[in-house]
Amino acid sequence: MKFESVVLSALAAASVALAALNPIVVKGNAFFDSVTGDRFYIKGVDYQPPDANGETSDPLMDYNVCSRDVPYIKALGMNTVRVYHVDNAADHSACMQLLQDNGIYLLLDVATADQAISRDYPMYSYNYVLLQHNFATIDAFSNYTNVLGFVAANEVVNAVNTTDTATVLKAVIRDMKQYISSRSPRTIPVGYCAADVAENRYQLAHYLNCGDESERAEFFGLNDYSWCGSSSYTVSGYNQKVANFNNYSIPLFFSEYGCNLVEPREFTEVQAIYSSQMIPVFSGGLVYEYIQEANNYGLVEVSSDLKNVTPLGDYYNLQYQFNHTQLPSGDGGYHANNNASECPAYVKGLWEANDTLPSMPAQASQYLTAGAGTPLGTDGPSNQWVPNSVLGSTSSSSAASATSTVSSTGSASSSSSNSASNSTASAAASRGAAVTNVLRRGAGFNSFVAPVIVVAFSFAIGLVAF
């Protein structure tokens, strides 16, 4: 069948409004349709097309963009898109309806370049400004039944020397869960998407799944690029991941996959991801990424006027794999009653997260009863504030590294030691920067990195609350 006819069929299907998609719920270590009881496997793509200037933009507020792309995503047989960045003050209703009409769920990251957990100063970034933004984003999307879940952060722990950030990450997950319980019309899972860092991937996964239920993540995504070229279940290390996560008690999936060290990408891992070997532990995954950018991970190319899409070879290869991979029937042998994890032991220089979480900032607690209020969008205040006393203690290193950014290499084998060591070196340089914060979108091997310069330090004391 010619691709054009596939697109026409998808467009025709999109023209008929479907009933609202059933909300997806978590049971044991898997996702399920809340109405039919069928198990839900993520079959998706990471979706963050840039604007005309090549800058990160919100694809769900521009119907011209989402209507251009959804037919191609639908033609792949996708049921999920992951979006890394939205403007919570914008109107998303038209694009969310279009996704709904095409049977597509949304996995949404709540962070933006100005509202995110800082790797350099995680405790100072944990303030009411961050939580107001996160809560307002929940308000903006919680009424859409096709929101699969909220991602509290992406790869904030990206090296062996950033594990202290996990304490704030877990606190943010707890706070978002509490806000959803208090203010959302339905339960929506909250989780995290992790870098595949060999030295701490399992400690982090278990840390986010240990302790009191109110503090635990409700899913764990792994950005994984270990299957390259004509690899296999064992060569890629997939078998080890299945074995190591066999007793994990919450849904686990690949939040990014699709190594491009060998081109063209054949996506032979698709058949493994949805095989009987993996589905008792994994719930599918999302291919990185939809739009072709400089990192060369795209499935499609967009014309310079942003009006037309041209599928690339990787698109057709992925389509072939999906067309020849049948999703399993039944519950896939999921684990309904696995126990929560044991909290990993503190190991200096390797795992430095604290099992005791900071309390929600006092100014943010009021949002649980009064609501987050008006969403402030991408032009709202940044949460990246550090007191002058702290800045002064690092001023000598700040001048040298104020413009440094964290390396964003991904895993290229079953062990990410080399990638992790490169990332560690860059992260170590960056952690001395007093005025730099990084929001990382997408792992890949040449990811997008957005530096945020912290300004107006005179307001620091007023904006930081513990």
Residues with a catalytic annotation lie at: 155, 256
The torsion region of residue 296 among left (phi > 0), alpha (psi -120 to 50) and beta comes to left
